[in-house]
Amino acid sequence: MKKSQVSIEYIIIVGFVTFVLLSTLAMAFLYSGTIKDQIKITQLTNFANKVTSSAEAVFYSGKPSKATITTYFPEGVLSASIVENSLLFSIQTSTGVNIISFSSNVPIFGTLSTSSGIKKIQITAQDDKAVISPA
């Protein structure tokens, strides 16, 4: 009778420890995905803010003005386009595909590639818009 009581108690303790360990791992994976998404969105926001603020500065400086910026473009961006004075991005996150828009106070035109990494972008002022292009 004594041996069976010890083995049942051992099984209960091992089961409880296994449950706690698995729940902790599940929570860690859940939160790590959320944190990775927040990092991607923050990097994308920094990229867009740098591009739009540089475009505004170049546009307000006048036609011969140019600026070349170096910035980091995050991975997971499916598409990047410039539509009606806004930078429009489609980004893959753990919850699905999100579309994020960043507006500019000046007319902007150009193209952006979706390859991740450090990018050099040239912004040139014209009479009626700021042109964004890879440098």
pLDDT of residue 5: 77
Q: Which helix (H) or strand (E) holds 117?
A: strand 117-125
Q: Residue 77, Cα to own-chain centre: how many angstroms?
A: 7
Please return the burial class of 9, using the count of CB atoms within 10 Å of its CB with bins 0-12, 13-18 and 19+.
exposed
pLDDT of residue 33: 85
10 contacts 18 by C-beta, under 8 angstroms: no
* DSSP, res 104: -
pLDDT of residue 30: 83
Rg (C-alpha) for the chain, rounded Å, is 25
Q: Which helix (H) or strand (E) holds 54?
A: helix 2-61
Which parts of the chain register pLDDT below 50? none
72 contacts 49 by C-beta, under 8 angstroms: no
Written as one letter, the residue type at 10 is Y
Written as one letter, the residue type at 51 is V
pLDDT of residue 1: 59
pLDDT of residue 2: 65
pLDDT of residue 10: 87
